[in-house]
Homo-oligomer: A and B are copies of this chain.
Amino acid sequence: MTPSSTLTAVDPRTGEPGESRPATPIAAIDSLAAAAAAAFADPALRDVARRAHALRDVAARLRADGERLRARFQAESGLPAGRAAGELERTSGQLEAFADVIEAGDQLEAIIDRADPQAVPIPRPDLRRMLVPIGPVAVFGASNFPFAFGVAGGDVAAALAAGCPVLVKGHPSQPGVNALVAEHVAAGIASAGLPSATFALVQGGSAELGAALVQAEPVRAVAFTGSTAGGRALFDVAARRPLPIPVYAEMGSVNPIVVTAGAIAARGDAIAASLVTAVTGAAGQLCTKPGVVLVPAGAEGDAWCADVAERLAASEPLVMLNERMRDALATQLEQLARQGGVRADGAAPRPRGPGFRLSAAAYQVAASQLARREELREERFGPFVLLARYGSDEELLATIASFDGQLATGLHADAATERELAARVADALAGRCGRLVFDGFPTGVAVSWAMQHGGPYPATTAPGETSVGMTATRRFLRPVCWQDAPQALLPPPLRDANPAGIWRRVDGRLTRDGI
* Chain B residues positioned under 8 Å from A461 (CB to CB): 244
Q: Say yes or no for A235: interface residue by CB 8 A criterion.
A: yes
Judged by a CB distance under 8 angstroms, whether A484 is at the interface is yes
Structural contact, A454 and B483, CB atoms closer than 8 A: no
Partner of A471, one of B86, B419, B479, B486: B479
| Interface residue from B87, B109, B452, B508 paired with A479 (Cβ < 8 Å) | B452
| A483 lies within 8 A of B111 (CB) | no
Least CB distance from A363 to B in Å reads 27
A266 close to chain B: CB less than 8 A: no
Interface hit among A114-122, A257-265, A270-278: A114-122
Closest residue on chain B to residue A41 by CB atoms = B431
Known: A430-B132, A435-B483. A508 touches B449 (CB 8 A): yes
Q: Are A440 and B484 also in contact (CB < 8 A) when A125-B446, A446-B124, A489-B426 are? A: yes
Whether B486 lies near A435 (C-beta < 8 A) is: no
The verdict on A481 contacting B449 (CB below 8 Å), with A93-B121, A246-B462 known, is no
Q: Is the CB of A464 within 8 A of B450?
A: no
Cβ of A480 under 8 Å from chain B:
yes
Q: Which of B113, B235, B440 contacts A239 (CB 8 A)?
A: B235
Contact between A510 and B505 (Cβ–Cβ < 8 Å)?
Answer: no
Asked whether A464 lies within 8 Å of B477 as measured between CB atoms, the reply is: yes
CB distance from A429 to the nearest CB of B (A): 10
Shortest distance in angstroms between A275's beta carbon and chain B's nearest beta carbon? 16
Binary contact readout A452-493 vs B (1 if CB under 8 angstroms, 0 otherwise): 101011100111111000010011011111111110110000
Chain B residues closer than 8 Å to A450, beta-carbon distance: 111-113, 127-129, 481, 505
Confirm or deny: A404 has a beta carbon within 8 angstroms of a beta carbon on chain B: yes
**Among B235, B471, B510, which residue has its beta carbon within 8 angstroms of that of A503?**
B510
A395 interface residue (CB < 8 Å to B): no
The size bracket of the interface on A is 35 or more
Residue A235 contacts which of B244, B451, B457 (CB distance < 8 angstroms)? B244
Residues of B within 8 A of A475 (CB): 464
Bound Cα distance from A466 to B479, whole angstroms: 8
Pick the contact of A134 from B89, B464, B486 — CB < 8 Å? B464
Are A454 and B439 interface neighbours, CB within 8 A?
no
Contact yes or no, B483 A438, CB < 8 A: yes
Please pick, from B89, B456, B479, B486, the residue contacting A438 in the complex, using a CB distance under 8 A.
Answer: B486
Which of A89, A109, A112, A122 gathers the greatest number of chain B CB atoms within 10 Å? A122
Interface residues of A in 362-393 (CB under 8 A from B): none
Tell me the complex Cα distance, A168–B464, Å: 22
A222 at the interface (CB under 8 A from B): no
Q: Given A246-B464, A446-B124, A436 and B482 touching (CB < 8 A)?
A: yes
A459–B236 Cα distance when bound, in Å, is: 21
In whole angstroms, how far apart are the Cα atoms of A89 and B122 in the complex?
A: 10
Bound-complex Cα distance A483 to B434 (A): 11
Closest to A410 in B: B483
Which residue of chain B lies nearest to A512 when distances are taken between CB atoms in the complex?
B510
Among B456, B458, B465, B505, point to the contact of A449 (Cβ < 8 A). B505
A423 within 8 A of B: yes
A446 proximity list for chain B (CB < 8 A): 113, 119, 122, 124-125, 127
Query: 3 closest A-B pairs (Cβ-Cβ)?
Result: A452-B481, A239-B239, A127-B450
Give 26 CB contacts A-B under 8 Å.
A86-B122, A87-B121, A89-B121, A111-B450, A113-B449, A127-B446, A127-B448, A127-B451, A239-B239, A239-B240, A243-B457, A245-B457, A419-B488, A434-B480, A434-B481, A435-B483, A436-B480, A436-B481, A436-B483, A437-B484, A438-B482, A438-B489, A439-B484, A440-B484, A449-B505, A451-B481
